[in-house]
């Protein structure tokens, strides 16, 4: 797999992290797709990762600003904000042929399905990543915390999709990156999604880290309610989830997550950037409507964050 032509699109905290790791073994065949000042910084400095978990990683960067420069690819990894998926995917259409593996690594639960609709000729896999990473002004990425790992699989259960997902996971393992193939990728994606529907929306709405939120009883109740409403949506969709998932995630937020933790959504609110509201609360509300479920706390947070971003 390391000899395949690989492109990573979206070189922020996630894309920069994955690119730097892939650059350890795929230097000759790896392209990154980005624009503007980020492209210039990467051309100047290369791919640089400052990681508490993986250490310092550096690799040269073949930076492309147009799909024509990238050319046809064997593997395209898309690491953009959820609301930009279709736009970037259409830009990359010249790079995608029959059999190209597409791997979206972004928030939300439906990115793989959206790519399958756009590119029925491609082999679309699915992924979910756990990390704390952010891009720096010089184009490098800083990862903090004692973990970073990713699950890769495919919701399509035929032999081709499962083999491609397994090979993609093995490629990341070659780089030293903790990547785990799973046959229940939908369940893994939803487990993180349930957590994010509480953690991201709470920290974004209140502009506080999780330590501050823990101190207020009302907010603790709301965290649990957000977890429960997202969990019920997943169960209604037929997703295989642990029966005690809400309790597991609640205990993680209350007792394990570092008190200074915040979310990318909270950072986007602070910076007056668009936020992935529809990817989280919007999705829970849509699924709840379709299945006749009530999600009052999710609706309250959705409306509050909508008003907040409209005001900004």
Render pLDDT for 83-94 as a digit per residue (tens, 0 to 9).
Answer: 999 999 999 999
Say whether both 209 and 257 belong to one domain: yes
Say whether both 94 and 176 belong to one domain: yes
| Domain ranges, residue 237 | 187-311
Residue 139 backbone dihedrals phi, psi, to 5 degrees? 95, -10
CA–CA gap between residue 59 and residue 24 (Å, rounded): 6
3-state class of 181 per DSSP?
strand
Which two structure tokens, joined as six digits, stand for 255? 């007792």
pLDDT digits (tens, 9 = 90+) for 209-260: 999 999 999 999 999 999 999 999 999 999 999 999 999 999 999 999 888 8
- The residue with greater pLDDT, 258 or 177, is 177
Here the CATH number for the domain that contains residue 254 is 1.10.1040.10
Q: Which helix (H) or strand (E) holds 194?
A: helix 185-206
Q: What is the average per-residue pLDDT within 117-140?
A: 96
pLDDT over 80 at 310, yes or no:
no
If we measure between CA atoms, which residue out of 172, 138, 137, 134 comes closest to residue 153?
172
pLDDT digits (tens, 9 = 90+) for 283-306: 999 999 999 999 999 999 999 999
- Would you say residue 1 lies in a domain? no
State the pTM of this model: 0.95
Instruction: Tell me how many degrees the CA angle 148-149-154 measures, rounded to the nearest 5.
Output: 150
Using N-to-C axis directions, what is the helix angle for 296-311 and 185-206, rounded to 10°? 60
Q: Which of these three, 183, 217, 248, is where a domain ends?
A: 183
Q: Which of these three, 183, 205, 225, is where a domain ends?
A: 183
Confidence at residue 308, expressed as pLDDT on a 0 to 100 scale: 84
Say whether both 147 and 263 belong to one domain: no
If we measure between CA atoms, which residue out of 263, 180, 280 comes closest to residue 13?
263
Say whether both 155 and 229 belong to one domain: no
CA–CA gap between residue 167 and residue 73 (Å, rounded): 16
Beta strand 62-64 pairing with 123-124: unpaired
Which two structure tokens, joined as six digits, stand for 301? 């947070």
Say whether both 169 and 247 belong to one domain: no
Please say whether the beta carbons of 165 and 128 come within 8 A.
Answer: no
Q: Which of these three, 162, 183, 204, is where a domain ends?
A: 183
Confidence at residue 304, expressed as pLDDT on a 0 to 100 scale: 96
Confidence of residue 2 (pLDDT cuts 50, 70, 90): low
Mean confidence (pLDDT) of the chain: 96
194 contacts: CB under 8 Å, gap ≥ 6: 227, 230, 231, 234, 241, 245, 246, 249
User: How many domains is the chain partitioned into structurally?
Assistant: 2
């Amino acid at each position: 797999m390391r000899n395949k032509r690989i492109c990573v699109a979206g070189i922020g905290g996630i894309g920069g992290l994955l690119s730097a790791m892939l650059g350890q073994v795929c230097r000759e065949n790896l392209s990154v797709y980005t624009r503007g000042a980020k492209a210039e910084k990467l051309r100047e400095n290369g791919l640089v990762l400052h990681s508490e978990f993986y250490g310092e990683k550096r690799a040269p960067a073949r930076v492309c600003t147009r799909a024509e420069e990238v050319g046809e690819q064997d593997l395209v990894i898309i690491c953009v904000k959820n609301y930009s998926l279709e736009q970037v995917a259409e830009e990359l259409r010249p790079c995608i042929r029959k059999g190209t593996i597409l791997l979206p690594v972004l928030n939300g639960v439906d990115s793989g399905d959206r790519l399958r609709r756009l590119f029925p000729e491609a082999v679309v896999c699915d992924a979910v990543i756990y990390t704390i990473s952010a891009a720096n002004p010089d184009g490098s990425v800083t990862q903090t915390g004692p973990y970073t790992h990713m699950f890769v699989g495919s919701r399509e259960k035929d032999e081709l999709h499962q083999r491609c997902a397994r090979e993609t996971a093995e490629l990341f393992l070659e780089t030293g990156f903790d990547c785990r193939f799973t046959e229940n990728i939908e369940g893994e994606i939803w487990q993180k999604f349930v957590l994010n529907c509480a953690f991201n929306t709470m920290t974004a709405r209140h502009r506080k880290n999780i330590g501050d939120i823990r101190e207020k009883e009302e907010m603790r109740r709301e965290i649990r309610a957000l977890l429960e409403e997202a969990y019920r949506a997943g169960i209604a969709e037929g997703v295989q989830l642990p029966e005690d998932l809400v309790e597991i995630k609640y205990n993680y937020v209350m007792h394990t997550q570092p008190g200074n933790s915040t979310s990318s959504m909270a950072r986007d609110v602070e910076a007056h950037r668009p936020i992935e509201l529809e990817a989280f609360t919007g999705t829970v509300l849509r699924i709840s409507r379709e299945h006749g479920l009530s999600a009052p706390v999710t609706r309250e947070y959705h409306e509050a964050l909508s008003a907040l971003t409209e005001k900004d």
